[in-house]
Structure formats: structure tokens, C-alpha cells
């Protein structure tokens, strides 16, 4: 099967509608008819389910004791605190691992425990549990190690810890191997877990462990939520977890708590990022999370944990400024590696026959290849495996598209790999340089089996058509009921046909962004199309266009106004788009 190079024009996929069912749902729960359409598009058609989705009550959170090994984990923590046993919290170097570590450390300290923590270095340490952490634990007389966001595949190191008198609790949401380690393992993805669980991030699992301990100690759950859901919101959104079920409830409440957080580190981070009075999931994804992740990519993630644990405002601001510097350094390296990756794709990858991009360079930085892999996926609409080399071996990160499961792909290549792990859409791995060519061949063979040529075309899923004259403040306020938006609950996307262009210009650095004034009759709206500035040359005042957009409020300089955030557009003098269903 031959694969064409990815097309630059998006496929518009318009969701099917049942307007009678939408109106019935809207009347049943008292919402805007467009909100009802969006709920149905997200698989919520029953009025009871819709009310639960919109209410997001904390009392609706799942019982933590439904998770495997939860009772044993809570009992062991209670025993350690009661016996004044020193505890080591072992985290991970991404934002989910960082927030999980900070949450567990803060919680244990509130219980009066003596707590130490360890976060591995992305470049210097292996992924997962580290021997260095076990050595530190022994030095401090630790008898309980709590691993958050890691550990489920670390049988050997856990066995070593157990042989030296250290009990281990693993709180991890990654896919387990065929055999669990000799530990208390709180992981909803365990093969022996009979209950279907939400796709909790590690920080959400950590919160549930704390909740179980509070229940066992008869401590108030509301106080726990107020103390820690801000961290849960950041880690969950940063890990691109599905914002449904428990995740949606915790993130919704965490976002409401963020403006009032008493954590000096978060206050400093919010100030550095210039986040608005009421943060959104998008503020976390594009402002807070990149800075927390950057320190783990470019330096020592322990600094980010220190920030989230800081009590002194001056120390918190110093650490926040350090994170800002690391983020700027990350941006520079990321752009250089992306340009190099584009060059290699042009010379080493046959896009007509290779559905999977596999690239390696000894010059690249391991902390950035994952982000660049995401940009390659965005640019070419195909899975990307990028890696850097050192001493005859490679370490890399992978990102994917729908239909190509990264965790399963890596498992199918496990005989070629030194280490591997991940989720459906992302993963990490290492391999000997001698196996690189075979790895590339195996992945592309798998890609040809799983992916069709149309899967490699970028597409936009559109919720419904929307007459531009129906866009008003009431609609935008109604759409806010569906927030937070993210994985599993995407932001609404609408198609408005044949609107008139009144003004065209470019804004931003290098005029990268498109600014339009469009409308119909007296209904006129500002539009912003990020990274769409090149389209300005194709548009003139008086043109008619079909636009794919999201209505939203723009708050700038104390003024609040409606605007349309553009995703794509086509000139209406071409064939009217027949969006695929």
C-alpha cells in the first residue's frame, strides 16, 4: 500500500446531528440547544448523565477503595505515620510526577510524618525508580518508599529495596507489565482489576490515596480537596488525561481553587505566567505546565518540587524565575531540533511509503525530543519516534495519532528495545544503535497494517453548523458550562458558512497570526487565527469565507468582548465544503 505525503488542507469532519433529540435534551435539563448538541456529541444523551456531567459535585468522586490495593496502601501509610517511620516519596520528572510528589510530601507532612523526596534527573538517571533513591532511603533509615507516577514495571529495584527492609507502595497509572512488582500497587490498569476506572493521572491517583487515608483516620474530605485539588488540576491537565469522570470533577474544582491558593510557589508561578484571575485548563496546558516540565527537561526537576513546596514568597519567586529561564532555553533548543528534524525528514524519510517517522541524532537533547515529536505529528499527521544517541545506544520519545497505539507498538518491538513504557498516544524507550534500522522497519510495517492513507490526512472534527447571526454572549456563557475542555472533552468547534470579510491584517511577532473582521449584516465579529498569518495574502475585503471557529470572550485592557478563534477557513467562491461525516 502506498502512502501519500500529508496534505496541507484539513479534512472537515462534521458530526451527525439529531435536532429533535437535542431539543428534547435541552428542555429536560434546561440548557441552550447548542450545549445539548455538544453533550450528545460527547456521548451524553441521557438527561441524568447530562446533569451529573454539568453538576461536577465532589460527592460524585469514585470511592478510592474501589482501586486495587488501596486499603493496604492506606493502612501502611497510617502505620508508618503512627510509628514515626521515615518515608521517602519517589517521583518523576514531568509535571504529573512533580505535582504528585509535592502533593504526597505535603500530605504526609500534614500528618506529622518525617518525609524525604527524590526526583530522578532526565539526562543522568534511568527512567523510573532509581538505585540512588534506594541508597538515600537507607541512609535516612527509611522503611517505606512511596513511588508516585513510576514503579509499576520496576520489579528488580523494588525487589532490591524489599530485600533491604524497605516496604514499597506504587501509585502509578502507566501500563503494567505481565508481572507486578513485589509491592502494594495502586494502579487502575492492573490486569486483575475487575472495575473499569477513569484514566486518572498519577496526581489524581495520589489524591485518592490521600483520600483513603483521611477516611481511615476520620479526617474531613472537604479540607483535603481544598488543600490539594489545585495541584491535581495542574498535573492532570499537563498529563493530557481525559477530562471526564473523576478527572473532570477534580480539575473543575481545582481550577476554581487556583486563584485562592496559599501555596507560595503556585502564586509565584501564576504571577510569572501572567495568568488571569480565573485560570482555565488552557492556561495550565500552555502556560503553567510548560514551565514545570521545562526544568525536568533541561535541568533538575527537584527545583520544580521545591517550588511547589516553598513557604517563603521570596524563595518561591526565585525558583519561579529559574523555571522561566529553563523554559526559554527549552524553547530555543526545541526550535533548533525541530528545524533539524524537518531537514532529516526531507532527506531520510519517504513519506509516500513510510507512515511512521523514525529519526535519530546524537546532537539532540533528550529533554526536548518528545515535544519535537509532537510538532512532527502536528506537521505530518503520522506517528513520530525521535531519539538522541550516546555511547552506542539511543533514548527517545514517541507521539502518535488515532489508530496507532504507542504502548502496543513499543511492546511489539520489545525484543529490539532496552527499556520502554507509555500510553496509547505517547511513550519513551531506549535501544542499542545496532537495532535502529530494524526498529524503523518494524514500526513502519506495523504502521502499514494499522493505518490507511486517509488516516494520515490532518482533520478537524466539527460539532455542528452555526449561523453567525446566532453567536452572542448568551451562547458563549452557556458553552462555559461544559468546561474544562481537554482530552476526552474537546472545546466546541463550529462551522459558519458564507460570512463576509470586512478587514484583513496580520498581528504578532513576524505577523504570524491572522486577524479578521467578519460577519453578516449587523453581526460583526473580531477573529483571531493563531499561526494562520500566511492566509492573509489570499483574502481581501469583501470576500466570502466558510470559517471553522470557537466563539469566546476576549478580555484585554479591562474590556470584555466576543471574538471567534479560528481553526481553519476556506474561500466561499470555491466549492461549498461538503464536510465528511
Q: State yes or no: pLDDT of 522 exceeds 90.
A: no
Any idea where the domains of the chain sit in the sequence? 11-17+460-571, 60-262+272-302, 349-456
Summarised one tens digit per residue, pLDDT across range 231-288 is: 999 999 999 899 999 999 999 999 999 999 999 999 999 999 998 788 999 999 999 9
The confidence band for 574, taking pLDDT boundaries of 50, 70 and 90, is: low
Q: State yes or no: pLDDT of 194 exceeds 90.
A: no
The confidence band for 2, taking pLDDT boundaries of 50, 70 and 90, is: very low
Q: Could you say which of 3.40.225.10, 1.10.10.10, 3.40.50.300, 3.90.1640.30 is the CATH number of the domain covering 60-262+272-302?
A: 3.90.1640.30
Summarised one tens digit per residue, pLDDT across range 289-301 is: 999 999 999 999 9
Q: What is the CATH code for 11-17+460-571?
A: 2.40.50.460
Given this model, what pLDDT does residue 458 score? 86
Summarised one tens digit per residue, pLDDT across range 458-482 is: 889 999 999 999 999 999 999 999 9
The confidence band for 557, taking pLDDT boundaries of 50, 70 and 90, is: low
Q: How many angstroms separate the Cα of 298 from the Cα of each of 33, 294, 295, 329, 431?
A: 47, 6, 5, 8, 22
Q: State yes or no: pLDDT of 341 exceeds 80.
A: yes
DSSP string, 372-404: HHHHHHHHHSS-EEEEEEETTEEEEEEE--TT-
The CA R_g of the chain, rounded to the nearest whole Å, is: 25
The confidence band for 1, taking pLDDT boundaries of 50, 70 and 90, is: very low
The confidence band for 198, taking pLDDT boundaries of 50, 70 and 90, is: low
Rounded distance between C-alpha atoms, residue 214 and residue 223, angstroms: 10
CATH class of 349-456: alpha beta
Cβ atoms of 163 and 185 within 8 Å: the answer is no
Cell 520502554 locates to 420
What's the burial of 183, exposed, middle or buried (CB within 10 Å: 0-12/13-18/19+)? buried
Q: Is 480 helix (H, G, I), strand (E, B) or coil?
A: helix
Amino acid at each position: 500500500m502506498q502512502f501519500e505525503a500529508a496534505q496541507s488542507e484539513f479534512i472537515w469532519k462534521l458530526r451527525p446531528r439529531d435536532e429533535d433529540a437535542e431539543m428534547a435534551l435541552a428542555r429536560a435539563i434546561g440548557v441552550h440547544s447548542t450545549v445539548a448538541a455538544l453533550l450528545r456529541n460527547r456521548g451524553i444523551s441521557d438527561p441524568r448523565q447530562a446533569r451529573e456531567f454539568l453538576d461536577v459535585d465532589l460527592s460524585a468522586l469514585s470511592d478510592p477503595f474501589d482501586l486495587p490495593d488501596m486499603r493496604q496502601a492506606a493502612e501502611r501509610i497510617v502505620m508508618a505515620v503512627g510509628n514515626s517511620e521515615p518515608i521517602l516519596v519517589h517521583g518523576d520528572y514531568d509535571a504529573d510526577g512533580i505535582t504528585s510528589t509535592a502533593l504526597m510530601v505535603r500530605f504526609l507532612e500534614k500528618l506529622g510524618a518525617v518525609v524525604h523526596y527524590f526526583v530522578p534527573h532526565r539526562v543522568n538517571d534511568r527512567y523510573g525508580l532509581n538505585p540512588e533513591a534506594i541508597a538515600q532511603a537507607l541512609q535516612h533509615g527509611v522503611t517505606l518508599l512511596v513511588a508516585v507516577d513510576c514503579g509499576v514495571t520496576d520489579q528488580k529495584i523494588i525487589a532490591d529495596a524489599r530485600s533491604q527492609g524497605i516496604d514499597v507502595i506504587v501509585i502509578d497509572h502507566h501500563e503494567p507489565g505481565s508481572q507486578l512488582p513485589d509491592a502494594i500497587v495502586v494502579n487502575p490498569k492492573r490486569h486483575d482489576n475487575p472495575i473499569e476506572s477513569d484514566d486518572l493521572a498519577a496526581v489524581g491517583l495520589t489524591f485518592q490515596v490521600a483520600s483513603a487515608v483521611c477516611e481511615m483516620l476520620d479526617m474531613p474530605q472537604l479540607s483535603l480537596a481544598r488543600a490539594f485539588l489545585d495541584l491535581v488540576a495542574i498535573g492532570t491537565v499537563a498529563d493530557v488525561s481525559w477530562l471526564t469522570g473523576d478527572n473532570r470533577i477534580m480539575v473543575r474544582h481545582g481550577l476554581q481553587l487556583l486563584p485562592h491558593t496559599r501555596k507560595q510557589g503556585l502564586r509565584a508561578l501564576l504571577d510569572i505566567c501572567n495568568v488571569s484571575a480565573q485560570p482555565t485548563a488552557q492556561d495550565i496546558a500552555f502556560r503553567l505546565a510548560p514551565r514545570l516540565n521545562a526544568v525536568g527537561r533541561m535541568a533538575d526537576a527537584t527545583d520544580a518540587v521545591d517550588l511547589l513546596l516553598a513557604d517563603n514568597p521570596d524563595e518561591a519567586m526565585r525558583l519561579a524565575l529559574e523555571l522561566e529561564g529553563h523554559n526559554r532555553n527549552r524553547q530555543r533548543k526545541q526550535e533548533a531540533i525541530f528545524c533539524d528534524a524537518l531537514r532529516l525528514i526531507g532527506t531520510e524519510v519517504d513519506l509516500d511509503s513510510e507512515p511512521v517517522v523514525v529519526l535519530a541524532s546524537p546532537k539532540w537533547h533528550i529533554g526536548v525530543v518528545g515535544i519535537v515529536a509532537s510538532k512532527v505529528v502536528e506537521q505530518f499527521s503520522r506517528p513520530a519516534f525521535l531519539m538522541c544517541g550516546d555511547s552506542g545506544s539511543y533514548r527517545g520519545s514517541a507521539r502518535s495519532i488515532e489508530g496507532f497505539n504507542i504502548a502496543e507498538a513499543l511492546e511489539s518491538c520489545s525484543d529490539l528495545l532496552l527499556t520502554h513504557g507509555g500510553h496509547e498516544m505517547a511513550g519513551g524507550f531506549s535501544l542499542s544503535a545496532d537495532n535502529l534500522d530494524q526498529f524503523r522497519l518494524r514500526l513502519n510495517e506495523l504502521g502499514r497494517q494499522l493505518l490507511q492513507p486517509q488516516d494520515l490526512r490532518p482533520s478537524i472534527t466539527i460539532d455542528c453548523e452555526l449561523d453567525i447571526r446566532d453567536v452572542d454572549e448568551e451562547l458563549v456563557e452557556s458553552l462555559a458550562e461544559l468546561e474544562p475542555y481537554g482530552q476526552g472533552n474537546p472545546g466546541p468547534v463550529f462551522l459558519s458558512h458564507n460570512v463576509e470579510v470586512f478587514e484583513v491584517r496580520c498581528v504578532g511577532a513576524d505577523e504570524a497570526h491572522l486577524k479578521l473582521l467578519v460577519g453578516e449584516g449587523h453581526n460583526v465579529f473580531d477573529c483571531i487565527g493563531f499561526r494562520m498569518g500566511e492566509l492573509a495574502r489570499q483574502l481581501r475585503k469583501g470576500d466570502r469565507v466558510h470559517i471553522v471557529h470557537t466563539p469566546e470572550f476576549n478580555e484585554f485592557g479591562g474590556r470584555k468582548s466576543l471574538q471567534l478563534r479560528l481553526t481553519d477557513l476556506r474561500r466561499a467562491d470555491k466549492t461549498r465544503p461538503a464536510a465528511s461525516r
